[in-house]
């Protein structure tokens, strides 16, 4: 019996099965073509920043306090250029335009900015919010005799009382608080930032007050001084010094007789200190200092200086040193 040709049979069977194996079902899912109409992923659009508040401060101390509280949240500008005489300032068309575009105006008040009423009226800004930094402060009336060699057109009459409250660190705290509250009322969404900025500045004012209290304590009720600008009654009252006379100096040329009359008037006061302001050079004060045998020193009313809010502490520190030196 002939056996079948096994190798050929197996080979034939294997070859026959190859097509079957090759035809097994493909389980790979085909990738669907991307439709041309499928929209691309949206790109996040940047939210436009809210415009900063536009704030105008009338003069340098108000600018310092406002800038310290507002920080980066507002564009703060000063109306009266540092060093200009705020008492006699005449507003310009540029000032009117600045107020017309401002959101907030910060003023010292107490009748200091006499130019302001008409300037605001001319600006016709019905949305303007005003912050009176001296709100709630009881003004001092004239507490020191005033020596006037001759009648001058520059005599300052403040019907609302003496306006120089920023030179008392404790009253400066009240002004900063008023500015803080006004900014919060205008921009409540940033209340926390205004409050934090104000708190940091107030802490430094409190530290300054403590320095004055400590270093001037030995001279309470014993140190008398004369100034040429009635700017320091709040400072004197706070630290129990005596501003006994104010020598108001006119711009006009003084005669020798005017000088002698002033010296005779001032001599009746037992003064220890004679102060002028930085940048002044007046022969009357020089004659007074020589005749009274007193060193003429500077006491800064802070109406000039750089615009850094920290300059307040630098200038007030210099005032403290001058008072200490003069009162010894």
- Can you tell me the distance from the alpha carbon of 245 to that of 45, in angstroms, rounded to the nearest whole number? 66
Tokens at 212, concatenated: 């004055």
Upper half-sphere CA count for residue 264 (Cβ side, 13 Å): 7
Q: Is 244 inside a domain boundary?
A: yes
Helix (H, G, I), strand (E, B) or coil at 247: strand
Q: Is 27 inside a domain boundary?
A: no
CA 221 to chain centre: 33
- Can you tell me the distance from the alpha carbon of 12 to that of 18, in angstroms, rounded to the nearest whole number? 10
Residue the block writes with tokens 């007193």:
294
- Can you tell me the distance from the alpha carbon of 66 to that of 70, in angstroms, rounded to the nearest whole number? 6
Domain that holds residue 319: 53-132+141-327
pLDDT tens-digit map of 250-300? 655 667 777 777 777 777 777 888 898 887 766 777 777 888 888 889 999
pLDDT tens-digit map of 125-165? 999 999 999 999 999 986 666 666 655 544 455 557 899 99
- Can you tell me the distance from the alpha carbon of 216 to that of 225, in angstroms, rounded to the nearest whole number? 14
Q: Higher pLDDT residue, 269 or 182?
A: 182
Provide, rounded to the nearest whole percent, the portion of the chain with pLDDT above 70: 75
**40 pLDDT above the threshold of 50:** no
| Count of structural domains, the chain | 1
Q: Is 43 inside a domain boundary?
A: no
Q: Is 198 inside a domain boundary?
A: yes
Q: Is 16 inside a domain boundary?
A: no
pLDDT tens-digit map of 296-314? 899 999 999 999 999 999 9
**95 pLDDT above the threshold of 60:** yes
Q: Is 295 inside a domain boundary?
A: yes
The crossing angle, in degrees rounded to 10, of helices 60-70 and 191-216 is: 130
pLDDT of residue 143: 60
Q: Higher pLDDT residue, 300 or 38?
A: 300
Residue 272 belongs to domain with CATH number: 3.40.50.1980
Contact 102, 78 (CB under 8 A): no
Q: Is 253 inside a domain boundary?
A: yes
Contact 108, 165 (CB under 8 A): yes
Residue the block writes with tokens 């930032």:
193
Q: Is 4 inside a domain boundary?
A: no
DSSP state at residue 276? E
């Amino acid at each position: 019996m002939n056996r079948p040709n096994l190798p050929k049979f197996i080979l034939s069977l294997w070859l026959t099965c190859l097509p079957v194996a090759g035809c097994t079902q493909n389980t790979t899912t085909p990738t669907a073509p991307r439709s041309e109409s499928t929209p691309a992923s949206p790109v996040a659009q940047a939210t436009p920043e809210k415009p900063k508040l536009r704030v105008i401060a009338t003069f340098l101390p108000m600018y310092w306090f406002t800038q310290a509280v507002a920080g980066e949240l507002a564009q703060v500008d000063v109306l009266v250029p540092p060093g200009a005489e705020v008492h006699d300032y005449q507003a310009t068309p540029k000032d009117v335009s600045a107020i017309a575009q401002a959101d907030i105006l910060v003023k010292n008040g107490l009748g200091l900015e006499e130019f302001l009423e008409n300037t605001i009226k001319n600006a016709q800004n019905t949305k303007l919010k005003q912050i009176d930094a001296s709100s709630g402060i009881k003004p001092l009336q004239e507490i020191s005799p005033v020596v006037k060699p001759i009648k001058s057109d520059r005599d300052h009459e403040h019907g609302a009382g003496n306006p120089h409250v920023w030179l008392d660190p404790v009253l400066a705290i009240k002004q900063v608080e008023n500015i803080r509250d006004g900014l919060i009322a205008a921009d409540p969404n940033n209340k926390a930032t205004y409050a934090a900025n104000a708190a940091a500045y107030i802490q430094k004012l409190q530290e300054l007050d403590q320095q004055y209290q400590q270093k001037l304590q030995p001279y309470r009720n014993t140190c008398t001084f004369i100034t040429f600008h009635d700017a320091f009654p709040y400072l004197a009252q706070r630290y129990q010094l005596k501003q006994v006379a104010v020598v108001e100096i006119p711009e006009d040329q003084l005669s020798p007789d005017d000088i002698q009359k002033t010296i005779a008037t001032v001599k009746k006061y037992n003064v220890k200190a004679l102060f002028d302001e930085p940048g002044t050079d007046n022969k009357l004060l020089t004659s007074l200092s020589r005749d009274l045998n007193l060193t003429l020193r500077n006491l800064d009313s802070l109406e000039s200086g750089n615009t850094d809010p920290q300059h307040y502490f630098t200038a007030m520190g210099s005032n403290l040193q001058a008072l200490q030196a003069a009162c010894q």
